Amino acid sequence: MKHKFYTFMGIILLLSMALAACQPAATPAPEKPAEPTKAPEAPAEPTKAPEAPAAFEGMKVEAPNCDYGGEFKSIEAVDAKTVKFTLCYPDPAFPQKVAFSVFSIQDKEYLDANGGDSVKMSDNVNGTGPYKVKEWKRGDSIIFEANPDYWGEKAKIPTLIFRWSEQSAQRLLELQSGTVDGIDNPAPEDFATIEGDANLKLYPRPALNIFYIGFNNKIKPFDDVNVRKAFAMAIDRQRIVDQFYPEGSRVADVFVPPLLKPGYSEGQKWYDYNPEEAKKLLEQAGYKDGLEVTLSFRNVVRGYLPTPDKVAQEIQAQLKEIGVNVKIEEMESAAFIDATAAGQKGFYLLGWTGDYPDATNFYDYHFANANNLQFGDLFPDVVEALKAAGQTADEAKRQQYYDTANKLIKEYVPMIPVAHGASAVAFKANFEGAHASPLGNEYFAVVSASGVDQLVWMQNGEPAVLWCSDETDGETLRACEQVYETLLAFEVGGVGVEPKLAEKYEANDDATEWVFTLREGVKFFNGATLDANDVVATFVSQWDAKDPNHKGRTTTFEYFGAFFGSFLNAE
C-alpha cells in the first residue's frame, strides 16, 4: 500500500516538475528574438548620423538586360533626394502603381536590421505616417497614437484603435451601442437601419470591384468551353444582384467596372439568361443526364460579395434547374485563395477589388499572369491584347486593345462576371471627414470630432502583420496605410494620384523613365531621415530575389509580381 502511494506521489512530482520546466522555458522564448532586433538598431542610428553630412553614396541596382521578364531595368538614387526608375517597357500606370501601399517606403538601415522580415518588423513598427503603433494586442486590437513629428498635417484624433469582427451583426451592434465609432461593410440589409438612425451616417463606397464565378479550364468538366458557356447562360445575374446586393450595385458585363476607362467596353453585353439554351449546350457537350460539380467559396464578406453563402446557394438552386447538381464547399479564406491560385479548384466564387484605379490591375493579374493558375491555361490571344494595352499610352488605342480582349474573354468564358458590388462604411454622425474610399484605404488621420480623443474602427478581420510589402489582404493593408507612406498616394476617398513622400515626379515621353524628387524633412519613427537610398532599398527588397531583405512574410510578393512582372535573379 505504502509503496503504491510513494510511486503515485513520485509520478505526480515528476509531472509537476515537467510542467514547471515547460512554463518558464516558454516565456523567455518570444523575448529572445526581440532582443537581437533591437540590438542592431541602436548602432544603426550612430552610423547613419555621421554618414548623412558626408558625401551621399547613391545605390543603384540594375538588371543586366530586360530578358528576365520584369518591368524594371534599373532603380537608382541619383542624389540624396532624387530617385530614378528606368523601365524595360512603357508603363503609363506607373504613378498609380507606386501609390499603392504595398510599396510604402522603409528606412534602409531598419530594413537591413530586420532582414526584411515582415513579422519581425511588426513588433517594432517604423514608418513615416501620421500614426504610430502603440500596442498590438494580438487577437484583440491595435492601438495607434498620433505621430507628433509628422511632416504634414498631423492626425486630428490622438488615439486610433483598430478592432475586428467577421460578424456584420456584431459590428453594427457595437456601433449602435457606441463602443466603436466606425465600421466597415455593414450588411446590405442593415443599410436602411443605419440611414434611419440620426446618430449614424452611412458612407457608400463606389464600386471598384468585380464579383465573378471562376472556372479552371484544366479541370473536368470545365475544360469544355460549351460547359462553361452553358453555365454562363444558366445563371440569372440580374436576380443575384437584385436579391443579394445593396443599392448602387450593378450587373457586370465585362471584367472591369465602368469607372475604369480605358478598360471598360461600352455596350458589350454578357450572355443573356437562357436556361433552355444552356440545357441544350450541356446535352451537346455530352452531359444529357445531368452533371455533378463542386462549387468552392470562402465565407468572407467583401464589398464585391456581401453574402457569400447565400449567393452560393442561389447558384446551386439555379443550376439545379438545368440538371446540374452542385455540392457547396466552404473553405477557410487563406486556404481557398491558395487553392484557387494554384489551380486546384474547378468552379468557385471569387472577386477582386481594385488596388489602383487602372484596368491593368484587373486584367493583368487575372488573364495575363503566368503565376496565377486560377483559370488554368492562359489564352494566348487574350494575353497578347492585354500586354499590348498595358504598354500603350494613347487612350483610344488602349481602349481598342481592351475591346478585343473583352470580346475574346466572352468567347472563352474563363469566368462569369456577375456584379460590381456597392458597399459602405458607417460612422457615428458627429465624426467629420469620415469617408469610404473606392480602394478600401480609408485614411483616419483626417477624421475628427469635437471633444473626442479616440477613434475606434471595427473592420472584418485582424491584420496579419504591420509591414505590408508582402500582403494582399485589404484588412492588413488598411492598418499599414495609417503608419506607412508611399512616394505618391491616392486622394483621400478618391482615385486620383497626388504627391506624398515625393514632392514631384516626371516621366520621359514614352513613359519608360520616371524621376521622383523626395520631400525634405521626412523622419521615420526611429529618427532616421528619408533619403533616396531608402526608396531604392525598399523597392529592391521586393524586386531582387537575391536581396537579403527579400523575405516578407511568405516571400511571394504577389502584388509586386502582378504589377511589375518577374523578380530579378529569380530561379
Partner 1 sequence: MSETLKPIAENNQEQYTRHSPAQEAFRRLLRHRSAQAGMIMLGILVFIAIFAEWIAPYDPIALIKTVKRREPPCVHLLGCPKDKEQHIFGIDGNSRDLFSRVIFGSRLSLQVGLATISFAIIVGGLIGAISGFLGGWVDNIIMRIMDVLMAFPSLLLAIAIVAVLGIGLINALLAIGIVSIPRFARLIRSTVLSVKELDYVQASRALGASPLHILFNRVLPNAISPLIVQGTLGIATAILDAAALSFLGLGAEKPRPEWGLMLGEERNSVFNAPHLVFFPGIAIMFTVLSFNLLGDGLRDVLDPRLRGSTRG
Binding site for partner 1 (CB under 8 A): 167-169, 187, 189-190, 193, 239, 243-244, 299, 307, 309-310, 312-314, 316-318, 320, 327-328, 330
Which of residues 211 and 244 has its CB atom nearest to partner 1 in the complex? 244
Overall size of the chain counted in residues:
571
Task: Answer for the pair 426, 202: CB distance below 8 angstroms, yes or no.
Answer: yes
Q: Which of 414, 427, 496 lies closest to 456, judged by CA?
A: 427
Closest CB to partner 1 among residues 113, 312: 312
Phi-psi region of 564 (alpha: psi -120 to 50; beta: other; left: phi over 0): alpha
Q: What span, in angstroms and rounded, lies between the C-alpha atoms of 541 and 528? A: 19
Closest CB 189 distance from partner 1, rounded Å: 5
Minimum CB distance to partner 1 smaller for 47 or for 177: 177
| Residue 546 C-beta: closest distance to partner 1, Å | 41
Q: Give 7 or 325: the residue with its C-beta nearer to partner 1.
A: 325
Q: What is the DSSP string of 461-477?
A: S--S-S--TT---HHHH
Which grid coordinates belong to 124? 517594432
Report in angstroms how near the CB of residue 351 gets to partner 1 at its nearest: 20
CB of 298 to partner 1, least distance (A): 12
To the nearest 5 percent, what fractions of the chain are helix, strand and coil?
35, 20, 40
Q: Which one, of 293, 272, 318, 297, lies nearest residue 227 by Cα? A: 293
Residue with Cβ nearer partner 1 (20 or 169): 169
Angle (CA) 41-142-488 rounded to 5° is: 70
Residue closer to partner 1, measured from CB, 206 or 303: 303
Q: Is the peptide bond before 258 cis (omega within 30 degrees of 0)?
A: no
Q: How far is the CB of 273 from partner 1 (least distance, A)?
A: 12
- Smallest separation, CB 227 to partner 1 (Å): 22
Q: Looking at beta carbons only, is 176 or 361 nearer to partner 1?
A: 176
Question: Of 309 and 432, which has the nearer Cβ to partner 1?
Answer: 309
- Nearest distance in Å: CB 244, partner 1: 8
Nearer to partner 1, 405 or 425 (CB): 425
Beta strands in 366-453 (DSSP E): 415-420, 423-428
DSSP letter at 64 equals S
| Cβ(352)–Cβ(319) below 8 Å | no
Beta-carbon contacts of 4 under 8 Å, excluding residues fewer than 6 positions away, are none
- Per DSSP, the residues of 196-237 read H-TTEEEEEEP--EEEEEEE-TTSTTTTSHHHHHHHHHH--H
